[in-house]
C-alpha cells in the first residue's frame, strides 16, 4: 500500500484523497437520521423557501418588505434553494412545509448529503493549499487523515446549518490566498477576494477579518511602493474591490430596505458572551471541566456542588445561556424602549449592541480572564486538538520567523476563528469548524518537517 502510494503523483494523490473524503462524508450523512429543521435551521430554510418560490431573499414569500429586519447571511440559503431546483424531495418539502413538520423531514435529508460533500471539498481545498505551501506525500496523507478521521465535526451533519459550507469556503480562501502569495498575479488576488467575499456571505464574522487583511496588504503595498511600483497595491485593490462590490452590495441592500446593515443577532451573541464575565471563581474553574468533551459534565457534577455547575446547564432558568440569550437581552431592550418609545426594532438593536460593548469594556479584566476558557471550549470541535492546537502554535511561530507570507496567510483564518468567536460569542465547538483547515495544515506541515529534519541528521550523531 505504501509503495503504491509512493508511486502516485501528487496531483493524483490529492484527487484520490479528496474522493475518499467525499465518500466518507456522504457515508456518514447516509448513516445519520433525517431531521426536521429547528432553531437556526428554521431561519435558513425560511429564506431558502422564499428564494425557491419567489426568487426574493426574505423570511417569508411575502417579500423583504414584510420583514422587520435583514436576514441571515445569504449564501447557504441560496445554495439550499439551488439544491431544491435539482432535488424534487427538497423542493416538495420547501413548498408544502412551512414551518417544517415531522411528516416532511425526509425531504431535508439531501442537505445532510450536501454537508458531506462540502466536508469532502473542504479536504480537497485544504490539500491544494498544502501543495502551495510545499507539502509532500506524507504531509498530504497526514493532513487528509486529520480531516477524514476527525469524526467529531460530523456529528451535526444531519442539520441544515451553514457551518459545513463555511468550512469549505475557509479552505477555498486559504488555498487561493496561499496561491496568490506565491504567484502574485492580479487574477490570483481577485480569486482570493471572491473566496473571502463568499466566506463573509456565509459567516459574517469573517467580514472584519477580510477587511483587516485587505488593510494589511494595503499597508504592506504602500511600504513597498517605491521598490515595486503600483504592482505592490494589487493585493489590496483586488481584495478590496471584491469585498466592496459583493459584501458592500449586500450591506447596501440591507441599509436601503431596513436602515441597518445586519440583523439583531450581533447584540444577542455579544450578550451571550458578556454573561460569562460574571462567573464566580468556582464557576470559572468548573467551566474548564464542564466544557471538556465526553466526561466533562459528569466530572463537574462529581467534583463540584450543584451551585457551582448548575448555571452551566443549557436550559437552567438562571443559567448563563438563557440569561445571555433571553433575560439580559430583554432587559436591555426594555431600557431602550423606555428611553425611545417610538423607535422601531431596527433602531433598537444597534443601540443594544453598543450597550453590551460598553458593559464588556467597563469590566475588561473579567472579560480578558475568561478568554482562555472560552477558547478552550471551542477547541473541542477537533477530535485531535491535543495534537493539532500545539502544532498550530509551533508552525505559526515558524512561519513568523521565516516571514513566510503564504504560510501565514493559510494559518491566519484559523487563528481568527479561534480568537474571534471566543471574544464575541459563547463559542460552542461547532463554531470552530472554520479553524479545522489551519489545524490540519499545521499538523501535516509539522510531521513533514520532522521527517525531513531526521533525514538531514547523520545516523551516527
Residue with cell 422601531: 344
**pLDDT tens by residue, 352-390:** 888 899 999 999 999 999 999 999 999 999 999 999 999
Helix (H, G, I), strand (E, B) or coil at 196: helix
Tell me which of 32-46, 82-96, 106-120, 306-320 is least confident: 32-46
CA dist., res. 193 & res. 191, Å (int): 5
Using 50, 70 and 90 to split pLDDT, how confident is the model at 2? low
Give residue 459's pLDDT: 42
Give residue 106's pLDDT: 82
CA dist., res. 124 & res. 37, Å (int): 28
CA dist., res. 216 & res. 107, Å (int): 45
Cell numbers for 102, please give them: 415531522
Q: pTM value?
A: 0.92
Q: What is the H or E stretch that residue 450 is in?
A: helix 436-456
* 21 neighbors 119 (Cβ within 8 angstroms): yes
The residues near 390 (Cβ < 8 Å, ≥ 6 apart) are none
DSSP class per residue in 217-229: HHHHHHHTHHHHG
Burial of 267: CB neighbours in 10 Å, binned 0-12, 13-18, 19+: buried
Give residue 460's pLDDT: 39
Return the number of other C-beta atoms located less than 10 Å from residue 295's C-beta.
10
Amino acid at each position: 500500500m505504501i509503495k503504491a502510494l509512493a508511486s502516485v503523483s501528487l496531483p493524483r494523490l490529492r484527487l484520490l484523497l479528496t474522493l475518499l473524503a467525499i465518500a466518507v462524508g456522504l457515508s456518514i450523512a447516509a448513516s445519520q437520521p433525517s431531521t426536521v429543521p429547528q432553531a437556526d435551521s428554521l431561519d435558513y430554510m425560511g429564506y431558502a423557501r422564499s428564494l425557491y418560490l419567489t426568487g426574493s431573499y426574505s423570511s417569508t414569500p411575502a417579500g423583504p418588505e414584510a420583514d422587520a429586519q435583514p436576514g441571515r447571511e445569504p449564501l447557504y440559503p441560496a445554495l439550499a434553494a439551488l439544491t431544491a431546483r435539482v432535488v424534487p424531495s427538497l423542493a416538495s418539502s420547501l413548498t408544502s412545509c412551512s414551518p417544517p413538520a415531522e411528516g416532511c423531514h425526509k425531504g431535508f435529508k439531501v442537505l445532510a448529503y450536501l454537508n458531506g460533500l462540502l466536508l469532502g471539498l473542504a479536504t480537497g481545498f485544504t490539500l491544494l493549499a498544502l501543495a502551495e505551501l510545499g507539502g509532500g506525500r506524507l504531509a498530504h496523507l497526514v493532513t487528509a487523515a486529520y480531516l477524514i478521521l476527525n469524526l467529531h465535526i460530523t456529528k451535526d451533519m444531519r442539520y441544515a446549518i451553514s457551518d459545513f459550507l463555511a468550512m469549505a469556503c475557509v479552505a477555498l480562501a486559504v488555498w487561493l490566498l496561499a496561491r496568490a502569495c506565491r504567484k502574485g498575479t492580479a487574477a490570483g488576488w481577485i480569486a482570493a477576494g471572491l473566496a473571502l467575499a463568499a466566506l463573509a456571505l456565509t459567516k459574517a464574522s469573517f467580514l472584519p477579518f477580510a477587511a483587516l487583511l485587505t488593510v494589511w496588504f494595503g499597508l504592506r503595498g504602500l511600504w513597498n511602493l517605491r521598490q515595486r511600483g503600483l504592482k505592490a497595491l494589487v493585493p489590496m485593490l483586488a481584495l478590496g474591490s471584491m469585498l466592496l462590490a459583493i459584501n458592500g452590495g449586500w450591506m447596501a441592500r440591507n441599509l436601503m430596505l431596513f436602515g441597518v446593515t445586519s440583523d439583531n443577532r450581533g447584540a444577542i451573541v455579544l450578550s451571550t458572551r458578556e454573561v460569562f464575565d460574571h462567573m464566580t471563581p468556582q464557576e470559572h474553574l468548573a467551566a474548564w471541566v464542564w466544557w471538556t468533551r465526553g466526561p466533562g459534565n459528569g466530572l463537574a457534577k462529581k467534583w463540584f456542588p450543584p451551585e457551582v455547575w448548575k448555571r452551566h446547564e443549557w436550559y437552567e432558568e438562571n443559567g448563563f445561556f438563557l440569561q445571555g440569550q433571553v433575560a439580559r437581552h430583554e432587559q436591555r431592550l426594555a431600557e431602550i424602549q423606555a428611553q425611545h418609545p417610538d423607535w422601531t426594532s431596527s433602531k433598537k438593536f444597534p443601540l443594544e449592541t453598543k450597550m453590551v460593548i460598553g458593559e464588556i469594556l467597563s469590566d475588561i479584566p473579567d472579560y480578558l480572564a475568561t478568554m482562555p476558557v472560552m477558547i478552550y471550549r471551542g477547541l473541542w470541535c477537533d477530535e485531535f486538538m491535543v495534537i493539532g492546537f500545539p502544532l498550530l502554535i509551533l508552525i505559526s511561530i515558524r512561519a513568523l520567523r521565516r516571514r513566510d507570507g503564504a504560510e501565514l496567510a493559510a494559518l491566519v483564518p484559523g487563528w481568527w476563528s479561534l480568537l474571534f468567536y471566543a471574544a464575541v460569542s459563547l463559542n460552542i465547538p461547532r463554531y470552530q469548524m472554520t479553524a479545522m483547515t489551519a489545524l490540519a495544515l499545521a499538523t501535516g506541515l509539522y510531521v513533514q518537517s520532522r521527517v525531513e529534519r531526521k533525514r538531514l541528521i547523520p545516523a551516527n550523531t
